Structures are given as C-alpha cells and as structure tokens.
Structure 1
Amino acid sequence: MAGRNRIPRDAFDNRRGYPPGGHLVRGPLSRPVPPHPALLEEELEMQHVEIRTLLGENRRLVEDRIALQRELGAAKEELHRMNLAIADIRAEQELHSRELIERGLKLESDLRATEPLKNEAVQLRAEVQKLNTIRQDLAGQVQTLTQDLAKLKADNQQIPLLRADIDGLHQELLRARTAIDYEKKANIELMEQKQAMEKNLVSMAREVEKLRAELANADARPWGADGELVSSSQPSKILLKGEEDLSTPFIKIWMR
C-alpha cells in the first residue's frame, strides 16, 4: 500500500531538477507540477524512519562513546599505574645495579688484597709437600727403629743372666778388697798377702778376660739410661788399676 504511486527517489536527488536522461532542451519554461500528497507523505514517512534509525545509531554511538571514554579512562589509569610501576622498577633496577657495581668493586679490591695470600698459599703448599716427604722419610725411619727395638728387646732378655754373673764378680771383688784392706795393716804379712793377692788378681783377670770373650761372643750391649744393659758391638772391658792413696792394687771394672 505504501509503495503505490511512488516515484523513484533518484528523481528528487538531482538538485538542478534535470531528469536522469540529461539536460532538458531549451524552450519555453513550463510551470512545475506540485508533487502528489501521497508522495510527500511517503517521503516524510521514509524520512521519519531514517531519522529514527539515525537516532538509534546516534544513541548507540553515544553509548559506545561513553563506554570508550570509560575504557579510555581505565586505560589511562592503568597506564598511569604502569608508569608508576615502571618508575619503581627502574629505580629498583638502578639501585640493584648500583649494589652490583659496588659488590663488583668490592670483590675486585678483595681479589687484589688476596693476591699476597695466594702467593703465601702457594708457598705453604710447597712447604706442605716438603713436610709430607719428610714425614714419609720419618715414617720409614720409625719403622726401621721399631724393627731394631724388637731385636733389642729380644737381646735384652739375656741381660738378667749377664747381670747376675757380673753381680757375682762384683761381690767377689768387694770381698777381695775387704781382705786386702784388712791384710795391709800388717807389714810382713801385708807384703806376702799382697803378692798372693796379685797372683789371685792375675788369675782373676784371666778369668775376666775369658768372661769378656764370652760376653763378646754373646753380643753384649752397653748400659742404657734406665739402668738396663743395652746391646752394643763392643764387649765389657775389665781394667786393673791401683788406688792413688794406697799401694795395694785392686780390680776395677769399666763398662764401655
């Protein structure tokens, strides 16, 4: 119904009023025919529809603009917060960088200060190696001494028998000296006893020489610091010596 007697709209689009075919032929101007009221009504209705459409679109554009403004405000706030965060991060990074630079400088100074310590450590390592070598040598010597000590302990088991024999000789010599001291009070008897004692001493010296040879064969050892007789390559030596204030000789045993 609305499309009846409708004239195409492009007929009114041309501002100059020319038909679509081109310009009109010049001639006597005719009076324009007024449009039909139905056409005007239809045109008005179409314009109202377009206006309502434009109003709806304008309303949507306004709503979109408001939403975009809100989003833009939120984006600006977010950008401001991000700028603040970036500034904080940059400040923190600069602080961290300064700390790292200071640490690096401190480490460099510490490394320069530890150069003498490194040289000293090298020297100490060399000394430690020398000490390890000496320790190994000492360990070998200790092992050798331990073996020698075991041999000496085996030899020292024979010392009590030798000491018993030597103690017997000492007792006998003490008795002989006592007898000599007692006999020297008499003049004539002293000389006779002296001669007899000299003979006895000579015989005892021979026996002592025999004992010395036996001791040499038994590999007797010298006396130690603790009073024990230790093994030695030299045997006991017995010497005859007279007293300096008396003319009577006596036997004195020197242990070498």
Structure 2
Amino acid sequence: MKTEDAARLAGLLHAARQDARLVDLLADMPADTRLPATPDEAYQVQAEIVRLSGEDIRGWKVTALKEEDRAAYGGRRPVAGPLLSGWVFPSPAEVPLFRFVAPLLECEFAFLLGRDLPPRETPYTLEEIADAVAALLPAFEIADGRVPPDAPGALRLADSMGNGAFIPGPPVTDWRALDRAGPVRLVIDGIEIETGSGARILGDPLKAVQHLANAQPLCAPLRAGHIITTGTATTPVRLERAGRVEADFGAVGRVGMRVRLLEHLRGVNQVAL
C-alpha cells in the first residue's frame, strides 16, 4: 500500500471519528486509491491514525481469535486495533451518545500487562502470558465504526478495529484463581439485559492475550501498561437511549457508566471531546 494512500485514508478515518460520522470513500478518496487488503496494510493505516491523533496507545482490542474468522481480514492470524488514550475512560464514566455513529455495548474481560511482550519466533506459552499479566479488569467496550459494517475486513481493521471507547473497571492483581468463565450480568436501569460468560472467549479469555502476543507485529509493540481486551462475553447491545449501565463480573468486579444524550456533561470521567 502506498504511503500516500495510507496517509489519506488515515486522515479520513481520524476526522470521521472526531465528527462521529461514516467516511464517504467514493466522494473523499481518488478513484485510483488502493485500500488495505491485508492486516499489514491495515496496520500501516492504524499507525498513521495514531500519529495524527497525538494520543498514546493505552491498549488493544483483539479479534479473529478463531482460524475460520481470519480470512475476512486478509490474513492468517488474529488481529487487533489500538485503544487510544483519548477514548479510554475509567469507570464510572459518563458517555454522550452523540460522540458515536452506531454504538454497541460489549462486556469484556481485560488484562493489564506488567511487562513488555515483544515479537519473537518462539510462540509464547499460556504460562508466560500469565506471568506477564499484572491485573485482570472488568470492562466495557463501546464498539463503533467509521466505515459500514459490511466493509471489507481489512478496512474495518484499519479503522481501529471498530473501537469507539473503552471503559475499564478496577484492576484485580490477585486474579489467577478467579473464575474467568463465570457469568457476566449486564444491567441497564436496574433491569438485567444480558447474561454472558468469559468461556465464550476460547474457554478462557487469557488465551486471547496469548493469541495476540503470538500474532505480532501489530501497528506498535505490546508494552507494559497496555490493556488487552479480549472480546465480548455478552451479546452486543445497541446503545440508543440515556440510562445507567452496570456489568457484574462476579469475583472479578463491576464496571459502570452513565449514558447521556446531547446535554453538556459534568464530572471527572467523561467522554467529552
């Protein structure tokens, strides 16, 4: 993929995220522009988005953990999008819906790295990954995209793999013995909406971190302090109205947020851009 094509697409995606809108590729891209077709080309665009944003990478969202899902992204390995610092808000967060295009709420097990996991030829074992994890966190991801949901996988990957925002709950450092396959309850305005399980993620969401570490290189290295969020443990729920949202991960803890509409927000942990 030409550098100028990657830069042009990154600029469009970055601007569309700030404006909460879909990109219009036909109107905004020259007809001869080559779009990403492989994970490496998508990561080229991601890296340019990170540069344009001026933000730090706080972590990663991983997907295509199953082999049968990887061809959609033009490759043979799991893929990931960066969680940029301007879109990461500790729980409890205040979230205005007007900052998103078509937000979906997902309840996720996330892991805080205590040390770097550099690319290497020898695959990481699950025990090595566990030794590198400093904490386990309950989390919300608000999935959102600036390209249509039926866009080619590599284009969706370039668009930060459809990340809208990330809300981590309190970290649990003594996490190894905790049940990561237990029930996760999503409650909105006091009503239970969904029940899920960490078992949906390869039987144990820690394996998602292992898969990602062995799928490098990404658009940047996996560093100590990064949070790896492992995919939704519940059926995604469309966010369409104001309300109070909480997810109960059992012994792992809880994460919460308040969804607002268009009014100005006050508070410490706001998605107010």
Decide: shared fold, TM above 0.5. Answer: no
Q: Give the structure, 1 or 2, with the largest relative contact order (CA under 8 Å, sep 6 or more).
A: 2
Higher strand share: 2
Q: Which has the larger radius of gyration?
A: 1
